[in-house]
Structure 1
Amino acid sequence: MSKLQEQVINTFHYLHEHAEISWEESETTKYIASILKDNGCEVTTFDDCTGVIGAYGNFNSNLPVVAIRADMDALWQEVNGTFQPNHSCGHDAHMAMVLGLLWKLEENPSLKNNIAIKFIFQPAEEQGAGALKMVGKGGLDQVDYLFGIHLRPQEETAMGHATPVIIHGATTVYEVEITGHDAHAARPHLNVNAIEVIAEIVNLLGNIHLNPRIPYSAKMTNVHAGGKSTNIIPGHAIFAIDMRAQDNQVMDELEKKVEEILEAMHQLYDVKVAITHKEKIPAAETNREAIQIMEKAAVSVLGREHVDPPLITPGGDDFHFYTIKRPDLKATMLGLGCDLKPGLHHPNMTFNEKALMNGVAILYAAVKEVYGV
């Protein structure tokens, strides 16, 4: 095992064992900032949020600026019976690979004067809010190219393979509250049962029909109603609805249908049904030049036969806010095959750690492709 590979794997394990959830990645920020400083980066952190940006290379020239983004946050998840921060989406691996790129650049100091790289370590991807925060903090100032990387499940991308672009769908989450009053279980005529309202909503979500040629879904993912007493009919409940659509137009239609259902429940049951919180992540907007650069890089590392076509997936990523806010940005996200199973967000997700160096090598090749070095 090379020294670089050992560094990357050890860093991955450290980050996995010290997972932090969205907006609480304070120790992760300090850890990353220290590594960036020790390896020649000008480092920027923030007083009002987590996240860190490192500038590496020559920014006093007309060189194009390449940004490399890694997401930092873990999920709050039950693992073996205990709720805890858990990196089941691979963000620990993404950080380790992006740091691996920095270390690989440091192994070749002659490159430093001929490149201009921004390392963006972004918080709160799982809440769909961190990318927008980094844009507001100037993370994309001067940036011409933006590259990301994400581990892929084995059913999407095989070990030793990669795809030069992940075409994520749009994601919207509504948190909804039903506000009523409780009643005795022997007197169901005295209130509206919030659980029955929720059941009706679940049924109606399954009856939404949009263009079948474009994948979409709407489903309830979280419900809280009632308390410890089993002889009370709950009038109050909170729940979440997760919506997915492969393009932004269909997502707009899906949101309208869901909102009509919620309004219908209000009218039918004469109970308040209100959306209390919304999270929305747009579908990918792709860039041909960035994809071609990443494809060449992947071919140079893995060989043509191991580079897959563009990957279309219903999953979402707030990476795409960067291109929504900066339409001129040349951006793509590399999908890395790594024998990941049973799947992303599974509490016991595992992958083949040997794939980490494939990610480092492809990102390095993409940087060299941009600068022709």
Structure 2
Amino acid sequence: MTNQQLAERLQPIFEHFHKNPEISWNEVETTAYLVRFLRQQGLEPHTFDNMTGLYVDIGKGTPKVGFRTDIDALWQEVDGAFQANHSCGHDGHMTVALGAVLLLKELEPTLPGAVRILFQPAEEKAQGAKAFVDQGVIDPLQFLFGTHVRPLIELEDGTYAPALHHGAAKLFTGEIHGAEAHGARPEQGANAIEAAAALIDGLKRIWISPAESASIKMTQIQAGGTSTNIIPGSAAFSIDARAQTNETMDALTAGFEKAVKAVSTLYDVSIDYKVDAHIAAAQVDDTAKSIMKQAIIDVAGEENCVPEVITPGGEDFHFYTYSKPQLQTTMLGLGCGVTPGLHHPKMTFNRKRLPTGAEIITRALVLALQQTKKEAIQNDSI
């Protein structure tokens, strides 16, 4: 299949995904569409009884190589109304995945093994990868690839990067429990607002090496009612933590826990919190990156293969390696002119790059299959 023929096949597929976004854990129709499409190609997709999403295997034997796409959309305000919206490019990622399915079906008789394609829900909530890990979806895999469309500030349109180094993120929510009192008798209360302010100050005193990129800050605080003469005894807060590496995130988390303990003691309050989301930083495998680089060169030419990208954003994909360190992973950076930027309600990108993305991913999967076969032969000879 030529690039033009693939583009013609993929255009209506993208239009369907783009016009029918569904938010995390509600990707019911998206899952049904994917199942129908895959069955039309003679494949047997595997769905789940308790959640959306699916996976499908192409080729013979136990799959050692996989590709994951995310399938959910964001919930955001567009033209004054809140709605599901594909402003992160997952409609494009699914299109790339189905393009790879079409190409792999053509190659199936000659594939040196099986490939697993994962259609993962709830990436935007940083919950889908964990759910797939819990389901055992990645257990047989040695290599796992992903992709993400990139903004112009990171990649020029028509260029491709063999790795994306996303950062780590943790989102905490918590409550401060003090004691209410009359404004004239503050000594009888424990002011939750003052405790929250002290916690904010404590976050500023978490020292990280200047060589490491990191931040931790309070992003929400609710306390007090309509009366101005009551010292509030309770407050709710949210904390956003970001770090370029998992080790730095561990340091931020330890600092946050220390600040909570200190403020609780100093202000005589109790502070309860939980981690609402944890996004692991990228742990790019050199062999996987080398395979992706070769795939880019084979498909798009060496002149369009650019260095790997370091980005402060987070991606649920990296939880796979976080949970299974021996898994060899990397993500293709798809330079397709994303503008004004990811998560902007009017985000657009050059859809003509999607067929090329599908070809690159397909080539990477084939190269990885060849690598696993080569390693198996070497191990047998030892």
How does the TM-score come out when normalised to structure 2? 0.87
CA distance in 2, matches of 1:209, 1:35: 52
Q: Secondary structure at the match of 2:124?
A: helix
Corresponding residue for residue 283 of structure 2: 285
Q: Secondary structure at the match of 1:344?
A: coil
The answer to whether the 8 A contact 1:54-1:119 is kept is: yes
Corresponding residue for residue 98 of structure 2: 99
Match of 1:220 among 204, 218, 221: 218
Moved more, 285-294 or 272-281: 272-281
Corresponding residue for residue 23 of structure 1: 25
Q: Secondary structure at the match of 1:260?
A: helix
Provide, for residues 210-243 of structure 1, a one-character-per-residue CA deviation record: whole Å limited to 9, x for no partner.
Answer: 111011111223333456x364664433222111
Corresponding residue for residue 7 of structure 2: 5
Match of 1:172 among 170, 173, 186: 170
1:202 matches 2:203: no
Q: Secondary structure at the match of 2:336?
A: strand
The answer to whether the 8 A contact 1:177-1:238 is kept is: yes
Match of 1:350 among 348, 351, 375: 348
Corresponding residue for residue 43 of structure 1: 45
Provide, for residues 16-45 of structure 1, a one-character-per-residue CA deviation record: whole Å limited to 9, x for no partner.
Answer: 332222222222211212212221222111
Match of 1:34 among 36, 39, 42: 36
CA distance in 2, matches of 1:172, 1:282: 9
Corresponding residue for residue 60 of structure 2: 58
Task: Report sequence identity in percent.
Answer: 44
Provide, for residues 273-301 of structure 1, a one-character-per-residue CA deviation record: whole Å limited to 9, x for no partner.
Answer: 21133422222222111111100111122
Provide, for residues 116-151 of structure 1, a one-character-per-residue CA deviation record: whole Å limited to 9, x for no partner.
Answer: 111101112222221121122121232222110011
CA distance in 2, matches of 1:185, 1:22: 44
Q: Give 1:287's aligned amino acid.
A: D
Task: List alignment gaps of at least 5 residues for structure 2.
Answer: 372-382
The answer to whether the 8 A contact 2:88-2:343 is kept is: yes
Displacement after TM superposition at 1:184 (Å): 6.9
Corresponding residue for residue 86 of structure 1: 85
CA distance in 1, matches of 2:215, 2:34: 37
Corresponding residue for residue 308 of structure 1: 306
In structure 2, relative to structure 1, the CA distance for the partners of 1:271 and 1:16 (3 Å cut) is: farther
How does the TM-score come out when normalised to structure 1? 0.89
Displacement after TM superposition at 1:187 (Å): 7.3
Provide, for residues 310-339 of structure 1, a one-character-per-residue CA deviation record: whole Å limited to 9, x for no partner.
Answer: 212222222222223333322211111111
In structure 2, relative to structure 1, the CA distance for the partners of 1:189 and 1:344 (3 Å cut) is: farther
Moved more, 108-117 or 318-327: 108-117
1:124-203 alignment runs, 5 A limit: 124-180=122-178, 191-203=189-201
Q: Give 1:213's aligned amino acid.
A: A
Q: Give 1:71's aligned amino acid.
A: D
Corresponding residue for residue 378 of structure 2: none
Q: Secondary structure at the match of 1:143?
A: coil
CA distance in 2, matches of 1:149, 1:97: 9
CA distance in 2, matches of 1:76, 1:183: 40
1:331 matches 2:329: yes
CA RMSD of aligned residues (A): 2.6
In structure 2, relative to structure 1, the CA distance for the partners of 1:194 and 1:362 (3 Å cut) is: same
Provide, for residues 171-204 of structure 1, a one-character-per-residue CA deviation record: whole Å limited to 9, x for no partner.
Answer: 2221111234666778767655544443443343
How many residue pairs get aligned? The number is: 368
The answer to whether the 8 A contact 1:166-1:313 is kept is: yes
CA distance in 1, matches of 2:295, 2:326: 22
